[in-house]
Structure 1
Amino acid sequence: MTEIPELTRAQIDRVIMMAWEDRTSFDAIRDQFGLTPGDVIKLMRHEMTTNSFKMWRKRTHGRTTKHEAKFAETDAGDQPRRFRAKSQRG
């Protein structure tokens, strides 16, 4: 079992924002924060209300853009990926 890194409140908020964004993959979150998809799911479950979590899971479950390997197999797989939200500075 991997150990989940300690995150600041700002980092947790950023992970949540990235997890909600359709075009940001779980791999991008792992690269920036060291969280596996399972870690992201645990974090989202802990930080969100039950209904919001269920809505997020329904939205992301099986979505090809949330998984690099699945996305690479699609017609859009050769398009550049975004690792941050439009609203993120820097």
Structure 2
Amino acid sequence: MNKAILDPSTTSEIIEMALSDHVSFEQIRALHGLGPDDVKALMRQNLKSGSYRAWRKRVRAFADRREVYK
């Protein structure tokens, strides 16, 4: 993950963006400089394990259906 420590409001914004089906990893990178692996690590740290697994399953399912997604 990025060496810079994110403040709680930025972390919350990134989580909200990642949970949205309308925001791609590229948009998160453009706004906050975090790549897909960084976002996944942030989500794993801040979500309950079941919530994280459900999010990853949903992201993978969308990626299989769409050429460009998260």
Unmatched 5+ stretches in structure 1: 73-90
Give the fraction of aligned pairs with identical amino acids, expressed as a percent: 33
Residue 25 of structure 1 is matched in structure 2 by 24
Kindly indicate which of the two structures has a greater share of residues assigned to helix: 2
Q: TM-score, normalised by structure 1?
A: 0.66
Q: Which amino acid aligns with 2:39?
A: V
Aligned ranges for residues 3-18 of structure 1 at < 5 Å?
4=2, 5-18=4-17
From the CA coordinates, give the structure whose radius of gyration is larger: 1
User: What is the RMSD of the two structures over their aligned residues, measured on CA atoms?
Assistant: 2.0
Aligned ranges for residues 3-82 of structure 1 at < 5 Å?
4=2, 5-61=4-60, 63-64=62-63, 70-71=67-68
How many residue pairs end up in the alignment? 66
Unmatched 5+ stretches in structure 2: none
The structural deviation recorded for 1:61 is 1.4
Counterparts of 1:38 and 1:21, CA distance in 2? 17
Say which SS state the counterpart of residue 21 (structure 2) adopts: coil
Q: TM-score, normalised by structure 2?
A: 0.83
